Amino acid sequence: GENVEQHPSTLSVQEGDSAVIKCTYSDSASNYFPWYKQELGKRPQLIIDIRSNVGEKKDQRIAVTLNKTAKHFSLHITETQPEDSAVYFCAASKTGANNLFFGTGTRLTIIP
């Protein structure tokens, strides 16, 4: 089955700086890669996703890049703000799969 690894497990960034979270996956057939943000005491929410037919996707201050050859994808947050503090999960799945395979999460703390 698919195995998704996520690094780092914790990340502290000065407000205004950029943050990068990286994930690798094992199944070369995986073709859908969502990212979830979970604020303290709240539910995980989808913030951005990418499919294997594109290499990069942006939405305001967040972007995701995908390298299919190396089987890794990354979340980039620019101009970080205190409200970016949360736990972030990457995930992967493929056509016909029954569920998403999640990474172990990254706790991002933005230092004012």
Partner 1 sequence: EADIYQTPRYLVIGTGKKITLECSQTMGHDKMYWYQQDPGMELHLIHYSYGVNSTEKGDLSSESTVSRIRTEHFPLTLESARPSHTSQYLCASSEPLSRGYTFGSGTRLTVV
27 binds partner 1 (CB under 8 A): no
69 binds partner 1 (CB under 8 A): no
Q: Which residues pair with 50 in a beta bridge?
A: 33
53 binds partner 1 (CB under 8 A): no
The distance in angstroms from the start CA to the end CA of the chain is 41
C-beta of 28: minimal distance to partner 1 in Å?
A: 17
Q: Which residues pair with 94 in a beta bridge?
A: none
Residue showing tokens 């949360």: 86
Nearer to partner 1, 79 or 104 (CB): 104
49 binds partner 1 (CB under 8 A): yes
Binding residue for partner 1, selected from 11, 20, 22, 32, defined by CB under 8 A: 32
Task: Answer for the pair 35, 89: CB distance below 8 angstroms, yes or no.
Answer: yes
H/E/C letters for each residue in 50-92? EECCCCEEEECCEEEEEECCCCEEEEEECCCCHHHCEEEEEEE
11 binds partner 1 (CB under 8 A): no
Instruction: Show the binding pattern over residues 74-103: x = contacts partner 1 (CB under 8 A), - = does not.
Output: -------------x-x-x-x-x-xxxx-x-
104 binds partner 1 (CB under 8 A): yes
